[in-house]
Structure 1
Amino acid sequence: MKNITTKQFSILSDHMDVYQFMLDIFSSTRWRGVPAPFWEYALVSDWMDKSYLHRCRIWKDGEKIVGFCFHENPVSEIYFSLREGYEELAPEMVEYAEKHMPRTEGRQKLVLVGDQREFESAAKAAGFTQCGGYDSMVYDCSKPLEYRPPEEYSFTEIGGVDVAKACECCWKGFDHEAEEGPWNGEYEYAFEQVNAPHSTTEYALAVMNSRGEYVCYAGMWWVKENRLAYLEPLCTVPEYRHKGIAAAALSELYRRLKPLGVEYMTGGGNEFYSRIGYERRVPWTFWKK
């Protein structure tokens, strides 16, 4: 007999249990929500507004977590994770999200990821309609990935990424330099990610030019429990784009993780991924009232 209770999320007491819950329910061949690093990466990033974390809610059956309603960034985008066999909780979780999760200028969006049909049905019943979506891409690591960088470029060694140089690369690679000005040299914030409980920054890598400057950075969260290589982030400095450097970086990640038993590596929705062999596998749909 189920004994369902709820509690509000507390980062100090609940994060490790929620992370384990997300590991437990995840299947790389049938996504039922986001993988665990999606949540932890947001929590340790400086771009996420953490002032609403107390609104996130956990559903438990006895001592076992069976459901989680949470936001990422922006705080008005709401996600769900649910253990198989507890689909009847979906309407209650959608109702909670609508009534209690944060809004931005009165607006809110439900984000359903992968096979979350119970939440789709609950959202429709509550008056939500689909307002867009896309398919994120995943690489099947049973296939070889063998792109090489141009001869003048090289990779950092395992565990050899310089945090400051990686931050500068990301500043430029995500076009902040063009939009906000030169990098100010501040990289202290990055150590929150480096020291995250499940961070595997030893598997992150950078591509260097002949002067040792980082021109591409590929972060990596290796999730051995799910045989999943979770790519986050990936960027290339503007003047080094369209040279095959990012494809070479992903190929090098593949080569390093293949002996560990990786089965799938995540990507994004950009057509770049499909050009190098990624497949559209995971639907993301957005729902609004």
Structure 2
Amino acid sequence: MNWTENHPLFIRERKFMILKDKKEAEDCFNRLVELFNRFVESHKNIENLKTGLKLIVNWEEHLKLKYPEREFILILSSTIAGEDVAIRFNQDTLSREYMNAIRNRLRIYIIWGIVMKIVFRNFDDSYYEQVCDFLIELSKDDRKHINWNWARWEWMFFHPEFNRDLKNKIGLWYLADELVAIATYDHYFGEAFFATKQGFEEFEKDILEYAIATFSNEGGLGVAVNDKDIHTVDLLRSYHFVKHDQTENILELALENVSLEGTISEDITLKNIDIKNDLYKLHHMLWQAFDNEGPVPVDEVTMNKQKEMLSATHLNPFLHVVAENKDGEYVAYCGLWYSPKTDYVYVEPVCTVPEYRHKGLGQVVVMEALKRGRSLGAKKAYVISDSHFYKSLGFQQHSHYMFYWHNS
């Protein structure tokens, strides 16, 4: 039995499957019990482990009465001898209008009579922390999504270029009060990220379809996928995504046994940013350091966006290190993002104004920030980059991501 392709938890269409091998049936049953126990501690209708799957007390008739508005029900049955196990998916005959009304809004899934409602919600600010926790949990289980960790989410969400007018289009899928899946754009439409918690992978098709329909722009939709994530690559290709030459690369540095000391000249002072008083100084430095042309804009709209960046929920000024020259100007900057719920820091951004480049200041602010991160409990650091600069500091290859593109 191919468990990935025939996972019984989430049903997208009518399916019929018969397991004729007794050992295969018992293996299937054990996996179902393992998943089932995530939702309930015991159930009176689980019995006779040795003979495979057995459904008792006419659940089909019971469910028709108790859950008349369900979309799908799952029926498990076996022969008396337990040699044959059938997993049957019965779909109600529902009107097209009703099916369209609940599409992408409500799914009701039943496992041995237990109802799981997968509910779609549009994002608003009240869900912000839940998204952070979802991404933290995701990176604990599997770091194939480390390129989209909670810190990247926060950096994006408060970034001046983030299109906040579209944020209610971010899709969230809930099982009761648990966030189990997400689809979001990256700063603006045209690129997207989607993921599910473990055990909810069969819902990925619905999420991907939502992302395509919602986040595509005139150029289509791009999604970055870990090179080792063959499952997601196959999923994207089934929806006619094609590989693109755009990439993302993740470097990692173990902080426990590395020297983070640096040397600075006498006319440079290291300090952390002062959120209340540094708005204009930091904005002036960032404008120059990212090679923008023309005078530094200080209009109300621009400065309000900078204030938004410094208001990021988990921004810790202690981890945002600047190099200040003798004239009181900021000339280099490293920002780190850390949550005590994780074991890593995320590096974003690092920059130096042009006239102070090639003097080692970038290395100094990064090392100082990493040293502070380590003092708070971080054991490693991640950065989205393939730059020799980070490799010279000891960062090593962690993972690589290719973009796959869907043309509208």
Matches within 5 A, 1:7-46: 7-27=120-140, 30-33=143-146, 34-46=148-160
Q: Is residue 261 from structure 1 mapped to residue 368 from structure 2 by the alignment? A: no
Q: 1:86 aligns with which of 200, 203, 207?
A: 200
Aligned-residue Cα RMSD (Å) equals 2.3
* 2:349 paired residue number: 233
Note the alpha carbon deviations across 1:121-143, whole angstroms, 9 max, x for none.
21122221221323221222122
* 1:167 paired residue number: 283
Q: Secondary structure at the residue paired with 2:161?
A: coil
C-alpha displacement at 1:245, in angstroms? 0.7
CA distance in 2, matches of 1:262, 1:159: 23
Q: Is residue 149 from structure 1 mapped to residue 254 from structure 2 by the alignment? A: no
CA distance in 2, matches of 1:52, 1:240: 38
- TM-score (normalizing by structure 1): 0.89
CA distance in 2, matches of 1:28, 1:150: 43
**Larger RCO, structures 1/2 (Cα 8 Å, 6+ apart):** 1
Q: Give the direction of change, closer, same or farther, for the CA distance of 1:6–1:111 in structure 2 (3 Å limit).
A: farther
* 2:399 paired residue number: 282
Aligned identity (percent) is: 22
Q: Give the direction of change, closer, same or farther, for the CA distance of 1:127–1:158 in structure 2 (3 Å limit).
A: closer
Question: Greater CA deviation, 49-58 or 213-222?
Answer: 49-58
CA distance in 2, matches of 1:220, 1:4: 38
- TM-score (normalizing by structure 2): 0.64
Q: Give the direction of change, closer, same or farther, for the CA distance of 1:50–1:185 in structure 2 (3 Å limit).
A: closer
Q: Give the direction of change, closer, same or farther, for the CA distance of 1:113–1:201 in structure 2 (3 Å limit).
A: farther
Amino acid of the structure 2 residue aligned with 1:255: K
Q: Is the Cα contact below 8 Å between 1:208 and 1:216 reproduced in 2? A: yes
CA distance in 1, matches of 2:166, 2:359: 41
* 1:101 paired residue number: 214
Q: Is the Cα contact below 8 Å between 1:139 and 1:278 reproduced in 2? A: yes
C-alpha displacement at 1:247, in angstroms? 0.7
Matches within 5 A, 1:199-238: 199-238=315-354
* 1:131 paired residue number: 244
Q: Secondary structure at the residue paired with 2:189?
A: coil
CA distance in 1, matches of 2:227, 2:262: 29
Note the alpha carbon deviations across 1:209-251, whole angstroms, 9 max, x for none.
2222111111222222112212222111011111111111111
Structure 2: state its 5+ residue gaps.
1-110
Q: Is residue 273 from structure 1 mapped to residue 397 from structure 2 by the alignment? A: no
* 2:167 paired residue number: 53
Count of residue correspondences? 285
Q: Which runs of 4+ in 1 moved over 6 A?
A: none
Q: Is residue 246 from structure 1 mapped to residue 362 from structure 2 by the alignment? A: yes
Question: Greater CA deviation, 204-213 or 185-194?
Answer: 185-194
Larger radius of gyration: 2
